[in-house]
């Protein structure tokens, strides 16, 4: 039902996809085929950093001022971290359904997608009574694109997940803790550095429910434990030799940094209730 990054990688234009992670599982149950009326009237409202597009009489139209103030706050936090302000306003399309997102963005159906091409960024996302895919994730991709159109899906999604903080309402760190505890942790070094037989990132082969929160927790570790300046240096890298780049910036190999990361996460103290709750929400089979 949901597109995978590999499909986007095959497209000619650069697409960074994402979903509203917190509600993805709910959406699978509630998503219905929507009746898209192509003659519907789209309105616009401009804010300091965005141009919002929404349909007349839509759910989004009733709450547009709230959406604007929430997204401007997200924008502020993201651009503060990246010390970047996009040179162009971000085009933000508030759609009724995943089907409409797919139709407007010319991509497979999904809840949210950020399309970056030739200096223009369009975010398409579902904003309805049951599904609100606004928030940090897509906007992080959008602002980060202006910082550096990085050559790593693993780090791009890790950064967006760091800003999101949670996967299916479970903190990224707790997700990673549970995966380590259940021996289903996936190595960040492998996700960042390895490529599959089609010369695509190994990260893209891993189920999102592991790869996204683990990378989100790892980016948090880099930013908060190893310094935001170092992370910004790392994120400005345009090449693909990540092992060399990590060593250059951190003075330690990525595998040593990962060992430290695993120790850091494993040392966190979670209650049995927190672990049981996380276990029930995550892919732990
Ligand atoms: Zn994403």
Task: Determine the distance separating the centroid of ligand 1 and the alpha carbon of 13, expressed in angstroms.
Answer: 16
Task: Determine the distance separating the centroid of ligand 1 and the alpha carbon of 32, expressed in angstroms.
Answer: 23
Task: Determine the distance separating the centroid of ligand 1 and the alpha carbon of 19, expressed in angstroms.
Answer: 6
Task: Determine the distance separating the centroid of ligand 1 and the alpha carbon of 21, expressed in angstroms.
Answer: 9
Task: Determine the distance separating the centroid of ligand 1 and the alpha carbon of 9, expressed in angstroms.
Answer: 13
Task: Determine the distance separating the centroid of ligand 1 and the alpha carbon of 112, expressed in angstroms.
Answer: 9
The model's pLDDT over 32-64, given as tens digits with 9 standing for 90+, comes to 344 456 668 999 999 999 999 999 999 999 999
All CATH 3.40.30 domain ranges in the chain, comma separated: 5-147
Task: Determine the distance separating the centroid of ligand 1 and the alpha carbon of 39, expressed in angstroms.
Answer: 30
The mean pLDDT of the chain is: 87
pLDDT at 37: 61
Task: Determine the distance separating the centroid of ligand 1 and the alpha carbon of 161, expressed in angstroms.
Answer: 7
The model's pLDDT over 162-216, given as tens digits with 9 standing for 90+, comes to 999 999 899 999 999 999 999 999 999 999 999 999 999 999 999 999 999 999 9
Q: Can you spell out the DSSP letters for 79-145?
A: HHHHT---SSPEEEEEESSHHHHHHHHTSS--SEEEEEETTEEEEEEEBSSS-B--SHHHHHHHHHH
Closest listed residue to residue 264, CA positions, set 205, 217, 200: 217
- The CATH fold of domain 5-147: Glutaredoxin (3.40.30)
Is the whole-model pTM more than 0.85? yes
30 pLDDT higher than 70: no
> What is the spatial distance between Cα 168 and Cα 75, in angstroms, rounded to a whole number?
22
């Amino acid at each position: 039902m949901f597109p995978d990054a590999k499909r986007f990688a095959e497209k000619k234009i650069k697409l960074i996809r994402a979903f509203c992670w917190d509600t993805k599982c709910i959406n699978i149950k509630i998503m219905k085929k929507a009746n898209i009326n192509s003659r519907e009237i789209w309105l616009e409202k401009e804010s300091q950093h965005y141009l919002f597009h929404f349909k007349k009489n839509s759910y989004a139209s009733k709450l547009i001022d709230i959406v604007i103030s929430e997204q401007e706050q997200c924008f502020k936090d993201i651009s503060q971290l990246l010390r970047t302000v996009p040179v162009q306003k971000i085009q933000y399309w508030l759609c009724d359904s995943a089907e409409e997102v797919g139709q407007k963005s010319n991509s497979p159906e999904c809840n949210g997608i950020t399309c970056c091409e030739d200096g223009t960024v369009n975010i398409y996302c579902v904003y309805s009574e049951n599904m609100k895919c606004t928030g940090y994730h897509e906007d992080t991709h959008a602002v980060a694109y202006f910082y550096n159109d990085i050559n790593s899906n693993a780090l791009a999604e890790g950064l967006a997940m760091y800003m999101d903080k949670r996967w299916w309402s479970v903190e990224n760190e707790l997700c990673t803790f549970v995966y380590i505890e259940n021996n289903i942790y996936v190595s960040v070094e492998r996700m960042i550095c390895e490529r599959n037989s089609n010369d695509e990132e190994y990260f893209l082969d891993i189920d999102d429910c592991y790869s996204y929160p683990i990378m989100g927790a790892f980016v948090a570790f880099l930013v908060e434990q190893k310094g935001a300046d170092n992370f910004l240096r790392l994120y400005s890298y345009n090449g693909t030799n990540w092992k060399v780049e990590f060593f250059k910036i951190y003075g330690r190999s990525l595998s040593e940094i990962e060992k430290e990361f695993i120790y850091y996460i494993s040392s966190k103290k979670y209650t049995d209730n927190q672990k049981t709750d996380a276990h029930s929400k995550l892919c732990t089979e």
